[in-house]
Chain A
Amino acid sequence: MGEVIVITSGKGGVGKTTTTANLGSALAALGKKVVLLDADIGLRNLDVVMGLENRIVYDLVDVVEGNCRLAQAMIRDKRYDNMHLLPAAQTRDKTAVTPEQMKELTDTLKEEHDYILVDCPAGIEQGFKNAIAGADRAIVVSTPEVSAVRDADRIIGLLEASEIKNIELVLNRIRPKMVEQGDMLNLEDVSETLAIDVLGVVPDDESIVIATNRGEPAINMSNSKAGQAFMNMARRIAGEDIPLMELNEAGFFDKILNFFRGN
C-alpha cells in the first residue's frame, strides 16, 4: 500500500512544483515506484519541469470523466522506468474535478505504487481542497520570507483541520550569507512560528533555474546543492536518518582544518 503525499504551500512560487519533481525523481532513483500527480488544473507546470509536455495525450480530467483508462493517461518518465506522471488539464479549471473524485483516484494509485506525490496549486480554494482530498501526509513548502510564512501558517491550520496529522516543512531558497548578515529569516525563526517538523532545507541555487528550463530534475546535476538537499529529503522519507546539510560555505581556514581532520 502506497502513501499519498500532498506538496502544498499557500503562497505561489515558493517551489512546490520544483519540490514535487525533484523529490519524486530522487525517490525513483532510490528504486521506489512513484507517481507524480499534477493537481494544478488550468495552470499545469509539472509536465514542463519534467520535460514530458510533448508526450501528453490524456490528462487527469480525462480519467475522471471516463474518456480514457487511468493507464492511458500515465506517462512514463524519460529517465526512470519506475516513475510516472499524471498531468493536469490545461484548458479546463479547478471545478472540473471534485475532492471525492481525487480521493478515488489516489486510492486506486496507492495499490500499485509506493509514493504518490500530489503537486498542489497555490491558494486555499477548490484546487487546494481537491489536492488534499486523498492525502495521507503533507509537505508544506515555504521560503524564508514573512509573506510565505504567513501563508504557510494558514495552510497548516487548514491541513490540521482536515485531520492530516503528518505535516512537514521544506524551507526553500535559503541564502546562508543573507541569514548570517541578519537580512533573511533563518530556520529557527520559521519553525518557531510554524511549529511543525522539518523535512529539509534547500539552498537558493542557480542549478534549479537551469534544470527547470531543460526539463530535467536537478538531482542529476553534479554540484547542485539544491539537488543534494532533495536527495537527502527523499532518503529521509524512505526512512534514513540524515542530518540537515551544512549550508554555510566553509571558510578557507575551515577547509584547511577539515583537510587535516581527514574529512
Chain B
Amino acid sequence: MNQNKVLFKGRQNGIVVVLDPDSEFDILKVVLQEKLEEAKDFFGASTTHISFDGRKLTEDEENELLEIITENSDINISFFSPIESISAKTSQKEKKEEKGEKEEKEEKKEKNPFQYETGVLDESSIDANKEIYKQSMGDTLVSATEGNAQYHFGSLRSGQSIEYRGSVVVIGDVNPGAEVIAEGHIIVLGALRGLVHAGCLGMSDAFVAALRLEPIQLRISSVYTYIPEEKQSKELEPSIAYVEEGKIFINPLIE
C-alpha cells in the first residue's frame, strides 16, 4: 500500500516527486526515504532538477523533503521548483472520476460484460487534461500516474495475456490473439498486432504507444477502435494513441 504514496516521475528536465495527497505527511517522509534507498543505484550521483507534485506543501514541508532527498541519496539538486498546481487539482478530480467510473463499469459488467460505449469526459477536466497533454507531449512521454510499470521481455504469442494494475512495457511484439490489459499506459517496443486495453479501470488519459501500431482492437478506458485497412502502413511508424473528448486519436511519435 505504501508503494503508491511517493512516486518518482522522470521528465526531460528533471525528476518530479509525486506525493499522495491523502496520506499523513510523516508517513510520506518515511516512504520517501525508503524509496530513495531502493533507487539509490538508479539515481546515482546525478545532478538534476527536482519538483514536487500531487499535494500542497508548506515551505517547511518542502524543505524537510528536500533534506531527506539530499541526505538519503547522491542526487545533487541543481534547481528546485514549487508545486505544479494544475496537476495537484486534477489528481483529486481524477480520483473521484476513477471511483465513479469504476462503479459504473462494474454495474455495466454485470448487465452486459461486453458492451463498450464511447465515454464522455467531465467538461471541466477536459481542459486540464489538454494542458497536461500539451505540456507532456511537447517535452517527453508522460510517465505512469498509476502505480508501477511491469516490463515484459520478449514477444507475446497468440493466447498469452498480461494483466497489470499499473503500466505495461512490452519489449517485443504483441501478436494477434495476444492481450495486454493495464490500469495505466501500454508501450510496445515492437509491433502491436493484438488487443490492448489501457486505462482499463477508467483512466482516460492513458495512452498506448508502439513502434508499429496495428492492433486488432485498441481500447483506452471505455472507448475502443481499430485502424481501418486503408490507414495501415507497411512502414515502421512509431505512433501513440490517446483519448480526447471521447475519441481516440493516433499521432506519429516522431514528427
Interface residues of A (CB under 8 A from B): 150-151, 153-154, 156-158, 160, 193, 195
Contact = CB atoms under 8 A, between A and B. Distances in A.
A150 B176 contact: yes
B39 to A, nearest CB: 33
Contacts of B158: 150-151, 153-154, 157
Contacts of A151: 158
B96 interface: no
Nearest to A156: B157
Given A153-B157, A157-B159, A158-B159, 5 more contacts: A150-B176, A154-B177, A157-B157, A160-B157, A193-B176
Interface in B163-187: 173, 175-177
Interface centre among B157, B160, B176 (most CB of A within 10 A): B157
Contact of B159 (A154, A193, A195): A154
A144 to B, nearest CB: 15
A134 to B, nearest CB: 23
Contacts, number: 27
B215 to A, nearest CB: 14
B177 A150 contact: yes
Contacts of B175: 153, 193
11 contacts: A150-B158, A153-B176, A154-B158, A154-B159, A156-B157, A157-B157, A157-B160, A158-B159, A193-B173, A193-B175, A193-B176
Contacts of B160: 157
Contacts of B148: none
Interface residues of B, number: 10
Nearest to A152: B158
A154 B159 CA distance: 6
Contacts of B155: 195
- The 9 A-B residue pairs whose C-beta atoms are closest, nearest first, are A157-B157, A153-B158, A154-B158, A154-B159, A153-B157, A153-B175, A150-B177, A150-B158, A157-B160
Contacts of A156: 157
A157 B159 CA distance: 8
A145 to B, nearest CB: 13
A157 B173 CA distance: 13
A114 B127 CA distance: 71
A154 B157 CA distance: 6
Contacts of B176: 150, 153, 193
Nearest to B177: A150
A160 B157 CA distance: 10
A201 to B, nearest CB: 21
Which of B155, B159, B173, B176 has the largest count of A CB atoms less than 10 A from its CB? B159
A238 B155 CA distance: 31
Nearest to B175: A153
Nearest to A193: B175
A200 B85 CA distance: 63
Nearest to B172: A195
Nearest to B176: A150
Interface centre among B160, B175, B193 (most CB of A within 10 A): B175
Residue of A150, A151, A157, A195 contacting most chain B CB atoms (<10 Å): A157
Contact of B177 (A153, A158, A160): A153
Interface in B140-162: 155, 157-160
Contacts of A157: 157-160
Contacts of A150: 158, 176-177
A156 B193 CA distance: 17
A25 to B, nearest CB: 32
A209 to B, nearest CB: 30
Nearest to B156: A157
A156 B173 CA distance: 14
Interface in B74-126: none
A222 to B, nearest CB: 40
A116 to B, nearest CB: 26
Contacts of B193: 193
A151 B175 CA distance: 11
A157 B155 CA distance: 10
Nearest to B159: A154
A153 B177 CA distance: 9
Contacts of A195: 155, 173
